[in-house]
Amino acid sequence: MNIDAFEALAFHRRSVRNFKPDPISHSLLERLLRITQTAPSSYNIQPIHYYVIRQQRIKESIVRSCLGQKQVLSAPAVIVFAADRDAATNNFEKTWGVDLANGVVSEEKMEICRNLIDMNFSTKPLGFGWLTKLLFAPFIRLFTPLPELPAVYKNAWLQKNVGVAAMMFMLAAESVGLGTCPISGFDERRLKKAVKIPRRFDVPLIIAVGYPAERPPARSRLPLEEIAHWL
């Protein structure tokens, strides 16, 4: 794909709220999610899980959690993007172990990343380590650059990972003629209970997906000259 084709794809994408009843095949949804998995993942920890809701009774059980938004009911599928707060513990050895076995990373690099993850994510001792990091981070920054630590701002870290993956999913769906609508306005606690999502997961975003019944007009965007800052 050249940039002209990608530009046309991006400019054609809309947030669709009215969908045809036509179902999306399991194989197509699976393919879209495999494409979504190629999105960048911080430390390659891959914290995102996808809950694919196609049964109408489940959509009916979550629509109140989603403040009655009609696209939840009309879309043939709703994808819940859930992110595991314990992914650093649960996934590191799995993902990096495979890369080590395949020769993609060295043992030295894996050990360096393991130490970085422990420094950034660990809440030891007794689960209060995040408080120590919160209190001492401003002091450390006086002497050396320091990023926001996931141990302190884990929700923000998870949201960044979900945002990148969600955009990948929406563009992939657009490429096969599907419409999408990202939804961030919902009661997360009620949604997780209805879908039986474990408590350790955050849900930053859900996406309704299906064949558009209508294509909304393009919404305005601020002039690029106002928001692009060339240095």
What count of other Cβ atoms lies within 10 Å of the Cβ of residue 114? 15
In a domain, 228, yes or no: no
In a domain, 136, yes or no: yes
In a domain, 223, yes or no: no
Task: Please name the helix (run of DSSP H) or strand (run of DSSP E) that holds residue 77, with its range, or none.
Answer: strand 77-84
Paired with 22 in beta bridges are none
What token pair was written down for 131?
A: 């408080």
In a domain, 47, yes or no: yes
- Structural domain boundaries, residue 133: 88-141
State residue 144's pLDDT score.
Answer: 79
State residue 143's pLDDT score.
Answer: 77
State residue 122's pLDDT score.
Answer: 74
71 φ/ψ angles, rounded to the nearest 5 degrees:
-65, -20
State residue 116's pLDDT score.
Answer: 85
Which of 199, 206, 205 has the alpha carbon at shortest distance from 86? 199
102 plus 191 within the same structural domain: no
* pLDDT tens digit at each of 231 positions of the chain: 799 999 999 999 999 999 999 999 999 999 999 999 999 999 999 999 999 999 999 999 999 999 999 999 999 999 999 999 999 989 999 999 999 999 999 999 999 999 888 877 777 765 555 566 666 667 667 777 766 766 656 788 899 999 999 999 999 999 999 999 999 999 999 999 999 999 999 999 999 999 999 888 888 999 999 999 999
Q: What is the pTM of this model?
A: 0.89
How many structural domains are present in the chain?
2
In a domain, 230, yes or no: no
The amino acid at 5: A
32 plus 49 within the same structural domain: yes
